[in-house]
Amino acid sequence: MMNKPAHNGASGQFTIKAVAQATGLTVETLRAWERRYAVVSPSRDASGRRTYSAVDVARLRLLRSATELGHTISRLAPLSADDLAKLVADSGGQARPGPARGQMYVERALDATEHSDPGGVEDALTSAVALLPPNEVVHTVIVPLVREVGERWHRGEVSIAQEHMVTDIVRRLVISVTRGYLRSDNGPCLVLATLSGERHELGILMCSWLAATRRFRTHYLGADCPAEEIARFALEVEAAAVLVSIVMPENEVPALQQLDVLAHQLHNKCEIWLGGFAARLVAADRIPDGCVMLPTGQDFEQRLDLLAAQFPG
What is the mean pLDDT of the segment spanning 301-313? Answer: 83
pLDDT of residue 92: 60
51 - beta bridge partners?
43
For the cut 60, the answer to whether the pLDDT of residue 207 exceeds it is yes
CATH number for the 9-90 domain, one of 2.70.160.11, 3.20.20.70, 3.40.50.300, 1.10.1660.10?
A: 1.10.1660.10
As its CATH architecture, domain 189-308 has 3-Layer(aba) Sandwich (3.40)
Determine the pLDDT at residue 284: 77
Say if residue 176's pLDDT is above 80: yes
Residue bearing the bigger pLDDT, 90 or 223: 223
User: Looking at this protein, which amino acid is placed at residue 135?
Assistant: N
Residues 6+ apart with CB under 8 A from 121: 109, 112, 113, 165, 166, 169
pLDDT higher for 17 or 68?
17
Mean pLDDT of 219-231: 95
Fold of 100-179: 1.10.1240
Predicted confidence (pLDDT) at residue 245 exceeds the cutoff of 60? yes
Domain definitions of the chain by residue range: 9-90, 100-179, 189-308
